[in-house]
């Protein structure tokens, strides 16, 4: 019975010094390049490899910049415990600002609430989207007055809808 040739494990340094393997690789590479000789490889240096999203994604996405802004901003804002210390605050915001009544919010995770709100944001009309974007833009700016307004909301049991109206009026007064 013939003994099987035992394959000797080679180290990385031995592999890089194997001239026969390197020669076989170059031969295969040359065959591959030859089979694609009709391609202009020089144009690769000029190519921009950033590809556009598939047509199906472009059709599914919204062209409304406000929706795109909110989808990116809302998760960051809702994870800010200074403004939204608990799930109740997030649910109050959804109800007051978006008109979204979230059933059993107390049994849902913070991330589930945020995801639900972000998905529902895409259904808002342009006027409500505009107001919401304006208010959130104000909240995300480094303005110490905003913190006081948000703290007053909790102390005076104001709704998020009232807070958004205050913030949007404040931006109109400043212009």
More confident site: 46 or 20? 20
Quickly list DSSP for 44-97. Answer: GGT---PPPPPHHHHHHS---HHHHHHHHHHHHHHT-TTT--SHHHHHHHHHHH
Distance between CA atoms of residues 128 and 173, nearest Å: 19
More confident site: 34 or 9? 34
Q: What is the overall mean pLDDT for the chain?
A: 76
Distance between CA atoms of residues 101 and 44, nearest Å: 53
Position 19 pLDDT exceeds 60:
yes
pLDDT band at 70 (very low <50, low <70, confident <90, very high): confident
pLDDT for position 157: 74
Distance between CA atoms of residues 112 and 12, nearest Å: 48
Calculate mean pLDDT across residues 60-83.
Answer: 79
Using CB atoms within 10 Å of the CB of residue 45, give its burial: 0 to 12 exposed, 13 to 18 middle, 19+ buried. Answer: exposed
More confident site: 83 or 60? 83
**Cβ–Cβ under 8 Å, residues 158 and 152:** yes
Sign, CA dihedral 21-27-32-36, equals positive
Range among 56-65, 103-112, 150-159 rated most confident: 103-112
Cα–Cα nearest to 138, from 127, 151, 129, 147: 147
* Token pair of 95 as six digits: 């109800």
Position 108 pLDDT exceeds 90:
yes
Q: What is the CA radius of gyration of the chain?
A: 29
Position 171 pLDDT exceeds 60:
no
Give the three-state DSSP class for 118. helix
Ramachandran class of 54: left when φ > 0, alpha when ψ lies in -120 to 50, beta otherwise: beta
Q: 109-160: per-residue pLDDT in tens?
A: 999 999 999 888 888 888 888 877 877 777 666 667 777 777 777 777 777 7
pTM for the full model?
Answer: 0.56
Indicate the range of 71-75, 85-89, 169-173 predicted with least confidence.
Answer: 169-173
């Amino acid at each position: 019975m013939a003994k099987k040739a035992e394959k000797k494990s080679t180290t990385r340094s031995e592999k890089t010094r194997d001239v026969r393997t390197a020669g076989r690789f170059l031969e295969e590479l040359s065959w591959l390049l030859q089979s694609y000789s009709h391609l202009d490889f020089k144009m690769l240096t000029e190519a921009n490899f950033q590809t556009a999203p598939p047509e199906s994604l472009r059709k599914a996405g919204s062209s409304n910049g406000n929706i795109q802004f909110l989808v990116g901003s809302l998760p960051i804002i809702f994870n800010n415990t200074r403004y939204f210390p608990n799930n109740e605050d997030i649910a109050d915001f959804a109800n007051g600002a978006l008109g979204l009544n979230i059933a059993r919010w107390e049994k849902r995770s913070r991330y589930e609430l945020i995801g639900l709100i972000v998905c529902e944001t895409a259904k808002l009309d342009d006027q409500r989207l505009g107001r919401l974007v304006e208010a959130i833009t104000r909240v995300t700016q480094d303005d110490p007055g905003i913190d006081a307004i948000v703290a007053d909301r909790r102390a005076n049991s104001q709704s998020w809808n009232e807070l958004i109206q205050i913030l949007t009026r404040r931006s109109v007064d400043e212009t």
